[in-house]
Amino acid sequence: MIRVQREDFDPGQEIAALTAGNHAVGGLAVFVGLVRDLASEGGLKAMTLEHYPGMTEKMLTSIEAEARARWPLEESLVIHRYGRLEPGDRIVLVATASAHRQAAFEACQFLIDWLKTKAPFWKLEETSEGAHWVEARAGDDEAAQRWRETDKAAE
């Protein structure tokens, strides 16, 4: 399941709901991304996440389908927020549940790595010096590259 929303989410409630009643699940991996002060000098006041409604959902759905094709997942959930967020706020949640831990860990990492290079979101940072668009990091491309083997969507 994927969700794109302005509101915050409660990771505990989300993962409890995700696996409720599914006793085939033996392992659940969760990643939660938070707003970090990229300026790392306490200069970040807020950031606004812009996205491309429609394409965002399409990309997240396709990334999730790819994860489920590659690993034997019982359940999966991606929640990504948009709008104005402050340092410490939750931005994204990726949860993957499987019979065993390895599939859950790998699929979770795959989902966040791919999401960061494919889902159409952009961060506008507000600092005391004004607002600027965050540039993409080469390290994110490299992280996604590891999973590339059958990566048609990235071509």
Partner 1 sequence: MRLLYFAWLKTELGTSAEEIEPPAEVRDVRGLIAWLKGRDTKFAKAFSDESAIRVAVNQDYARPGDPVDAGDEVAFFPPVTGG
Which parts of this chain interact with partner 1 (CB under 8 A)?
A: 33, 49-52, 54-55, 58, 80, 91-92, 112, 115-124, 133-137, 140, 153-155
Mind giving me the DSSP string for 71-129? S-EEEEEEEEE-EEE-TT-EEEEEEEEESSHHHHHHHHHHHHHHHHHHS-EEEEEEETT
CB nearer to partner 1: give 16 or 134: 134
Task: Tell me how far, at minimum, the Cβ of 99 lies from partner 1, in Å.
Answer: 27
CB of 23 to partner 1, least distance (A): 31
- By the 10 Å C-beta count (0-12 exposed, 13-18 middle, 19+ buried), 23 is classed as exposed
* Partners of residue 30 on adjacent β-strands: 95
User: Closest separation between CB of residue 123 and partner 1, Å?
Assistant: 5
- The residue (of 28 and 80) whose beta carbon lies closer to partner 1 is 80
Closer CB to partner 1, 31 or 71, in the complex? 31
Nearer to partner 1, 36 or 100 (CB): 36
Q: How far is the CB of 82 from partner 1 (least distance, A)?
A: 9
Nearer to partner 1, 99 or 122 (CB): 122
The sign of the CA dihedral 13, 17, 19, 21 is positive
Least Cβ distance, residue 76 to partner 1 (angstroms): 16
- C-alpha dihedral, 56 to 59 to 65 to 68, nearest 10°: -80
